[in-house]
Amino acid sequence: MSKIRLPGLVDAHVHLREPGYEHKEDFASGTCAALAGGVTTVLDMPNTNPPTSTPERLAEKARLAAAKAVCDVGLFVGATNTEGDAYLSAAERACGLKIYVNDTFGSLRIDTLEMMHRLFRSWAEKAAQVGYRMHGAAKGLGPITVHAEELMVPVCLALSHLYNVPLHIAHVSRRSEIELIRKAKERGLPVTCEATPHHLFLSVEDLPRLGPLGDMRPRLATPDDVAALWEHLDVVDVFATDHAPHTLAEKGVGASEAPASPPPGVPGLETMLPLLLTAVHEGRLDVQDIVARCVDNPRRIYGLPAQPDTWVEVDVDAAYTLTNVGLKTRVGWTPFAGRRVYGRVERVVLRGETVYQEGEVLAKPGFGKVLFQESIAGR
Ligand code: DOR
Ligand code: ZN
């Protein structure tokens, strides 16, 4: 048995569903799933109901998270067509601005170039006053993070370049996209990107087996697209799950008739680390590749505070089969059920406290901190 200690992981892309969809997940169940996966910081997306598109809604979400979370939580604000940059006065309390330019779950979607101009311009103007955390400002803004697929990738790259706003491209999944991002980085554009475990370890070839559980946005890609992510791993700054829980019933599992429009998305918090450690076991990654992409880089990109006295104890030789049984996510399933993996999270220590051990979450609700909420008045 070989045990290692990792720093607490950051999952920079999760949907904890509160408020509005607590039957799928909430800050309690979602952060318990995080600890079980060795994750001690999650960054929560704004496509809740209502969406996190105003300062009031961000404050309300922060209150919910502060009462219930067992790991640390950062909150994104999101842009809407109708409210524009209404969130702007609370921008420093968010980990970043999320813009959806493709259709996915929820109502957030920007669909005019005019609004894209406004969002990038106002973020740049605000940053001119308060700075970017990734540039070392004590307080300040995070990046603009985009859900941009295919042709929307160059649109966002161009805006980021023209307004000089740091851009983080979520869940890159296609060869065409990662090759473009490589070129943009080579030209010195302020861009970073992330890849999910499902786009690294699944492809369209898994769809017949997965059925409705293989549906997410971006959709699963071809084996050549998957190979491209691995070939260009040096361009991938972050591994993040896009943990997007929906119930089996909503997905149409066990239903006699398929639902008309099943919601896209798969949970991922509890399976990312064993999947990545299995890639280490197979010689496709080393542990430092994981630490760079799940700790150091997300911390730098989002300007996250360090977590003192925090670590994850992992038995890297423990071999087992992933299963739906015992998962902490409220929806109780994973698209990786049945997969043989190496690496089990045995214990998680957060700020000196054992918060997870042998399958049990020991932290009390509210032990997690909500990041960036300290008063910014009088700055
Ligand atoms: O598959 C997805 N599900 N992709 C997204 O971008 C959103 C997510 C969700 O919130 O369910
Ligand atoms: Zn997402």
Q: Whose CA is nearest to atom 2 of ligand 1?
A: 265
Q: What single-letter amino acid sits at 58?
A: L
Residue 45 CA, closest ligand 1 atom number = 10
| Among 42, 47, 48, residue to substitute to test ligand 1 (most atoms within 8 Å of Cβ) | 47
With residue 4 as reference, give the H or E element that holds it. Answer: strand 3-6
Query: Nearest-5° angle of CA 218, CA 176, CA 156?
Result: 70
Ligand 2: centre distance to CA 177 (Å): 17
Residue 264 CA, closest ligand 1 atom number = 1
Ligand 2: centre distance to CA 227 (Å): 22
| Among 16, 105, 246, residue to substitute to test ligand 1 (most atoms within 8 Å of Cβ) | 105
Ligand 1: centre distance to CA 202 (Å): 16
| Among 17, 216, 251, residue to substitute to test ligand 1 (most atoms within 8 Å of Cβ) | 216
Q: Edge to edge, what strands does the sheet with 39-44 contain? A: 9-14, 39-44, 72-78, 96-100, 144-147, 167-169, 191-195, 238-239
The reported pLDDT for the residue numbered 251 is: 96
Q: Provide the pairing of β-strand 311-321 with 340-350.
A: antiparallel
The reported pLDDT for the residue numbered 138 is: 83
Is position 367 within any domain?
Answer: no
- Domain with 167, as residue range(s), is 3-361
Is position 300 within any domain?
Answer: yes
ω into 305 cis (within 30 of 0): no
Q: What single-letter amino acid sits at 237?
A: D
Q: Provide the pairing of β-strand 353-357 with 340-350.
A: antiparallel
Ligand 1: centre distance to CA 102 (Å): 11
Which ligand is nearest the CA of 102, by number?
1
The reported pLDDT for the residue numbered 104 is: 86
Q: Are 236 and 193 in contact (CB under 8 A)?
A: yes
Which ligand is nearest the CA of 109, by number?
1
Q: At what angle do helices 175-186 and 152-163 cross, to 10 degrees?
A: 20
Which ligand is nearest the CA of 213, by number?
1
Is position 372 within any domain?
Answer: no
Nearest Cα neighbor of 32 from 5, 66, 68 is 68
Query: Nearest-5° angle of CA 169, CA 170, CA 174?
Result: 85
Which ligand is nearest the CA of 217, by number?
1
Nearest Cα neighbor of 99 from 46, 56, 142 is 46
Ligand 1: centre distance to CA 50 (Å): 16
Q: Whose CA is nearest to atom 3 of ligand 1?
A: 265
Instruction: Give how far the C-alpha of residue 143 lies from the chain's centroid of Cα atoms, to the nearest Å.
Output: 14
DSSP state of 313: E
The reported pLDDT for the residue numbered 375 is: 57
Ligand 2: centre distance to CA 192 (Å): 16
Residue 171 CA, closest ligand 1 atom number = 6
Is position 373 within any domain?
Answer: no
Residue 102 CA, closest ligand 1 atom number = 6
Q: Whose CA is nearest to atom 4 of ligand 1?
A: 217
Which ligand is nearest the CA of 149, by number?
1
Hey, what are 64's tokens?
Answer: 């919910």
Q: What single-letter amino acid sits at 131?
A: G
Task: Report CA torsion sign: 56, 24, 262, 173.
Answer: positive
The reported pLDDT for the residue numbered 106 is: 85
Q: Are 240 and 302 in contact (CB under 8 A)?
A: no
Give the binding-site residues of ligand 1, using a 6 Å CB cut-off. Answer: 15, 47, 104-106, 147, 216-217, 242, 244, 263-265
The pTM (predicted TM-score) of the whole model is 0.97
Is position 375 within any domain?
Answer: no
Nearest Cα neighbor of 65 from 17, 11, 12 is 17
Phi, psi of 97 (to 5 degrees): -105, 125
Q: Provide the pairing of β-strand 3-6 with 96-100.
A: unpaired
The reported pLDDT for the residue numbered 376 is: 52
CATH code, 59: 3.20.20.140
Residue 215 CA, closest ligand 1 atom number = 1
Is position 306 within any domain?
Answer: yes
Residue 47 CA, closest ligand 1 atom number = 10
Is position 137 within any domain?
Answer: yes
Q: Are 248 and 254 in contact (CB under 8 A)?
A: yes
- Please count the structural domains in the chain: 1
d(CA 304, CA 234): 22
pLDDT in tens, the chain (379 residues): 699 999 999 999 999 999 999 999 999 999 999 999 999 999 999 999 999 999 999 999 999 999 999 999 999 999 999 998 999 999 999 999 999 999 889 889 999 999 999 999 999 999 999 999 999 888 999 999 999 999 999 999 999 999 999 999 999 999 999 999 999 999 999 999 999 999 999 999 999 999 999 999 999 999 999 999 999 999 999 999 999 999 999 999 987 788 888 999 999 999 999 999 999 999 999 999 999 999 999 999 999 999 999 999 999 999 999 999 999 999 999 999 999 999 999 999 999 999 999 999 999 999 999 999 985 544 4
Is position 10 within any domain?
Answer: yes
